[in-house]
Homo-oligomer: A and B are copies of this chain.
Amino acid sequence: MRTRPLKVALLGCGVVGSEVARIMTTHADDLTQRIGAPVELAGVAVRRPSKVREGIDPALITTDATALLKRGDIDVAIEVIGGIEPARTLITTAFEHGISVVSANKALLAQDGAALHAAAEQHGLDLYYEAAVAGAIPLVRPMRESLAGDKINRVMGIVNGTTNFILDKMDSTGAGYQEALDEATALGYAEADPTADVEGYDAAAKAAILAGIAFHTRVRLDDVYREGMTEVSAADFASAKRMGCTIKLLAILERAADGESVTARVHPAMIPLTHPLASVREAYNAVFVEAEAAGRLMFYGPGAGGSPTASAVLGDLVAVCRNKLAEATGPGESAYTQLPVSPMGDVVTRYHISLDVADKPGVLAQVATTFAEHGVSIDTVRQQGRPDGVGNEASLVVVTHRAPDAALSGTVEALRKLDTVRGVASIMRVEGE
Interface residues of A (CB under 8 A from B): 19, 23, 27, 30-31, 33-34, 130, 136-138, 141-142, 145-151, 216, 276, 279, 291-302, 305, 307-308, 310-319, 322-323, 326-329, 331, 334, 336-337
Q: Which single member of B23, B145, B296, B326 contacts A319 (CB below 8 Å)?
A: B145
Which single residue of chain B is at the shortest CB-CB distance from A315? B146
The answer to whether B314 and A149 touch across the interface, beta carbons within 8 angstroms, is yes
Q: Which single member of B145, B276, B291 contacts A141 (CB below 8 Å)?
A: B145
Chain B residues, Cβ within 8 Å of A301: 294-298
Say how far A231's CB is from chain B's closest CB, in angstroms: 29
Chain B residues, Cβ within 8 Å of A145: 141, 315, 318-319
Q: How far is the CA of A380 from the CA of B295 in the complex (A)?
A: 42
Q: Which single member of B30, B136, B291 contacts A295 (CB below 8 Å)?
A: B136
Sorted nearest first, the 7 A-B pairs with minimum C-beta distance are: A149-B314, A138-B146, A138-B142, A136-B294, A294-B311, A148-B318, A293-B311
Say how far A240's CB is from chain B's closest CB, in angstroms: 18
Chain B residues, Cβ within 8 Å of A276: 279, 300
Chain B residues, Cβ within 8 Å of A149: 23, 27, 31, 34, 310-311, 313-318
Chain B residues, Cβ within 8 Å of A312: 146, 294
14 contacts between A and B (CB under 8 A): A23-B149, A30-B216, A136-B291, A136-B294, A138-B141, A138-B142, A141-B145, A145-B318, A149-B310, A149-B314, A149-B316, A291-B311, A297-B301, A299-B299
Q: How far is the CA of A334 from the CA of B322 in the complex (A)?
A: 14
**8 further A-B pairs in the complex, CB-CB below 8 A; given A136-B294, A149-B315:** A23-B149, A23-B150, A30-B216, A138-B141, A138-B297, A141-B146, A147-B315, A297-B301
Which single residue of chain B is at the shortest CB-CB distance from A301? B297
Say how far A285's CB is from chain B's closest CB, in angstroms: 10
Determine which residue in A148, A297, A315, A317 has the highest number of CB atoms from chain B within 10 A of its CB, and name it. Answer: A148
Q: Assuming A151-B30, A300-B300, is B293 touching A136 (CB within 8 A)?
A: yes
Say how far A115's CB is from chain B's closest CB, in angstroms: 21
The answer to whether A315 and B148 touch across the interface, beta carbons within 8 angstroms, is yes
Say how far A275's CB is from chain B's closest CB, in angstroms: 10
Q: Assuming A293-B307, A296-B301, A331-B322, is B148 touching A314 (CB within 8 A)?
A: yes
Say how far A289's CB is from chain B's closest CB, in angstroms: 8
Q: How far is the CA of A36 from the CA of B80 in the complex (A)?
A: 31
Chain B residues, Cβ within 8 Å of A292: 307, 311
Chain B residues, Cβ within 8 Å of A298: 298-301
The answer to whether B300 and A294 touch across the interface, beta carbons within 8 angstroms, is no
Say how far A62's CB is from chain B's closest CB, in angstroms: 24
Which single residue of chain B is at the shortest CB-CB distance from A140? B146
Chain B residues, Cβ within 8 Å of A138: 138, 141-142, 146-147, 297
Which single residue of chain B is at the shortest CB-CB distance from A143? B138
Say how far A133's CB is from chain B's closest CB, in angstroms: 12
Q: How far is the CA of A299 from the CA of B137 in the complex (A)?
A: 9
Which single residue of chain B is at the shortest CB-CB distance from A297? B301
Chain B residues, Cβ within 8 Å of A314: 148-150, 293
The answer to whether A329 and B326 touch across the interface, beta carbons within 8 angstroms, is yes
The answer to whether B311 and A302 touch across the interface, beta carbons within 8 angstroms, is no
Chain B residues, Cβ within 8 Å of A148: 34, 314-315, 318-319
Q: Assuming A145-B319, A308-B295, is B33 touching A216 (CB within 8 A)?
A: yes
Which single residue of chain B is at the shortest CB-CB distance from A150? B311
Say how far A334's CB is from chain B's closest CB, in angstroms: 6
Q: How far is the CA of A58 from the CA of B137 in the complex (A)?
A: 44
